[in-house]
Structure 1
Amino acid sequence: MNYAIIGFGAIGQALAKAFARSDIEVSVATTRDPESFASDAAAIGPKVTPKTLAEAVKADIIFLAVRFESHRDVAKALQAWTGKTIVDVTNAYGVPPEELGGQPSSKAVAQAFTGAQLVKGFNHLGAAALGQDPAVQGGRRVVFLTSDDDDAATEIGALAESLGFAPIKLGGLSEGGLLVQARGNSWGKLIFKDLVKFD
């Protein structure tokens, strides 16, 4: 299994730090030349590898850490995404619900990535919290996961555990997913909740 993070702003770099802490290899990409962010990747760790977008989308599991408005541009990198899992880390705050046909933003993302399994996750934490060690006072920082594909959610849950987080599945995108999605100018009730689970 190989991993990529598309988008290397604050959230993308925070995710890369999580992989580096756990000594898991991950590719990072933007629409820019990899040389332009190679030094930032190297500063995070030796297993964080800058790549072109065309190279990064070959990964099995892809974290989509771009602005919501950019997801369609990323989706054009492949004609079909069959066999891949997309982890939607975007937040569509400020996007009018009518632009999304009244559906949750992750449903719109899923439609753009034809054939992929989609899991909404890792989007409810700010970059500062996401970039910190998830081991907190004897517990683990929570990440919420929602998907219409339970197997995909389970797979990303296992990865979240490997990264040190405590995954909590909220169900489908149109149900629990609404708790972690922005709708227009309002945030889901669990967005920015920095919770810790004690086992």
Structure 2
Amino acid sequence: MSYAIIGFGKIGQALAKAFARKGLEVSVATTRDPESFASDAAAIGPTIIPKTLADAVKADIIFLAVRFESHPDVAKALPSWEGKTIIDATNVFPVPEELDGLPSSAFVAKAFTGAKLVKGFNHLIAATLAADPIVEGGHRVVFLSSDDEDAIAPVAALARQLGFAPVKLGKLNEGGTLVHARGRTWGQLIFQDLFKKEQ
């Protein structure tokens, strides 16, 4: 299984730190030339590999860590996203009219034709996401929701590998709305920094 993070702002770098902590390789890309962020990637660790967007999207599981309005530009990188899983870590401020009542992730899913989409890793601020998720025997919770049941299992396995405790919330329009930040409407689980003890 190969991994990529698209977007290398605060959230993208926080995710990269989680991979580096476990010595897992991940490609990182933006719409810019990889040279422009190579030193930032190197500062995080040797397993953080700067790539072009065209190369990074060859990964099996791809974190979308760009601003919501930039997701259509990323989606253009491939004509079909068949066989890919997109982890949507975006939040929406302010809410664009074109959402028309849809959860933002359902809107993102439309852009990535053929992909399986999982909403996740979006409810924590970057500094919290970047911190070691294992504290006093507990694992920091990340919430996952998807309309594709098959998509959640590999993302949950990755979350566990990174040291997090994945909690499934069901479909995007059910539990997924609990972690959506939409303008002034906040899901009840946004910014809830929760831990789960080992069973």
TM over 0.5: yes
Partner of 2:120: 121
Q: Does 1:30 align with 2:21?
A: no
Partner of 1:99: 98
CA contact (8 A) 1:125 1:191 kept: yes
- State the 1:186 CA deviation: 1.6
Alignment of 1:136-155 (within 5 A): 136-155=135-154
CA contact (8 A) 2:27 2:48 kept: yes
Structure 2 residue matching 1:156: 3-state secondary structure: helix
Structure 2 residue matching 1:20: 3-state secondary structure: helix
Partner of 2:9: 9
- State the 1:134 CA deviation: 0.3
Structure 1 residue matching 2:127: 3-state secondary structure: helix
CA contact (8 A) 2:169 2:175 kept: yes
- State the 1:54 CA deviation: 0.6
Alignment of 1:66-81 (within 5 A): 66-81=66-81
Please, what TM-score do these two structures have when normalized by structure 1? 0.97
Give the Cα separation in 2 of the matches to 1:99 and 1:32.
Answer: 27
CA contact (8 A) 1:93 1:186 kept: no
Give the Cα separation in 2 of the matches to 1:178 and 1:7.
Answer: 23
Partner of 2:173: 174
Partner of 1:63: 63
CA contact (8 A) 2:91 2:182 kept: no
Structure 2 residue matching 1:103: 3-state secondary structure: coil
Structure 2 residue matching 1:5: 3-state secondary structure: strand
Post-superposition CA distance 1:89-114 (Å, at most 9, x none): 00013114x42121100000000000
- State the 1:149 CA deviation: 1.0
Partner of 2:86: 86
Give the Cα separation in 2 of the matches to 1:126 and 1:5.
Answer: 17
Runs of 4+ in structure 1 off by over 2 angstroms are none
CA contact (8 A) 1:93 1:187 kept: no
Structure 1 residue matching 2:182: 3-state secondary structure: coil
Structure 2, unmatched stretches of 5+, are: none
- Partner amino acid, structure 1, of 2:55: E
The alignment of Structure 1 onto Structure 2 pairs a total of residues equal to: 198
Identity of aligned residues (%): 74
Please, what TM-score do these two structures have when normalized by structure 2? 0.97
Give the Cα separation in 1 of the matches to 2:15 and 2:182.
Answer: 24
Structure 1, unmatched stretches of 5+, are: none
Partner of 1:110: 109
Post-superposition CA distance 1:11-66 (Å, at most 9, x none): 00000000011111000000111001000000111010000011101111000000
Give the Cα separation in 2 of the matches to 1:2 and 1:141.
Answer: 23
- State the 1:185 CA deviation: 2.1
Partner of 1:159: 158
Give the Cα separation in 1 of the matches to 2:186 and 2:47.
Answer: 34
Partner of 2:49: 49
